[in-house]
Amino acid sequence: MNNKELKIGLFYGSTTCYTEMAAEKIQAQLHHLASDSCVELFNIKDTELSKTEQFEVLIFGISTWDFGELQEDWEATWQDIKGLNLAGKTVAIFGLGDQLGYAEWFQDAVGMLHDELLVLDCDVIGYWPNQGYEFIASKALTEDNAFFVGLCLDDENQYELTDERINNWCNQLITEIKLL
């Protein structure tokens, strides 16, 4: 990417405000790391997903509910994803989930969103190591099971690791964006 201001659209759905708080931390950290970046936050409850087409770099925040289910705002707009024109755009995903209470479905919504975005011909960045988590299964794992397809946060069981994970992931994103 060149030296012009980097405009990033961060779109999230949040029922209990934890995904929203993570989005705000990501926004602040990216601004801290790259002062030439502008991260605009959008709650998909109040914003049409078509707004994503206005950005070259996108971050999506989603949480997994119960037994691998989508967060309600994402569920309400899920059918709109297929109609988006995101070809050639750079996309990263983060999610929240409970690895102990729902160990067989940890971060499934992240994996489901990743699969929907891949068919839209976007460049997905921000894959995250799966070490340091305790879970049984996840749709968010890469084919070789070495990585999650996005940053996975568990504020229920590992809240003390959230800020460090966000900081490290944001550093990773800036590096990966600059390599494009």
85-106 burial, b at 16+ Cβ within 10 Å, e below that, comes to: ebeebbbbbbbbbbbeebeebb
Section 65-88 average pLDDT: 96
Structural domain for 97, as ranges: 6-179
Read off the pLDDT of residues 30-64 as tens digits, 9 standing for 90 and up.
999 887 778 999 999 999 999 999 999 999 999 99
SS3 73: helix
Read off the pLDDT of residues 123-144 as tens digits, 9 standing for 90 and up.
999 999 999 999 999 999 999 9
DSSP code, position 142: -
Count of domains for the chain: 1
Strands 147-148, 151-153: pairing is unpaired
Please, what is the end-to-end C-alpha distance for the chain in angstroms? 6
Domain membership flag for residue 1: no
pTM attached to this predicted model = 0.95
For position 1, what pLDDT does the model report?
46
Q: Nearest CA to 108 among 120, 100, 99?
A: 99
Domain membership flag for residue 15: yes
Domain membership flag for residue 88: yes
Domain membership flag for residue 51: yes
For position 4, what pLDDT does the model report?
64
Domain membership flag for residue 60: yes
CATH number at residue 120: 3.40.50.360
For position 36, what pLDDT does the model report?
75
Domain membership flag for residue 159: yes
Phi, psi (5° rounding) for residue 43? -85, 120
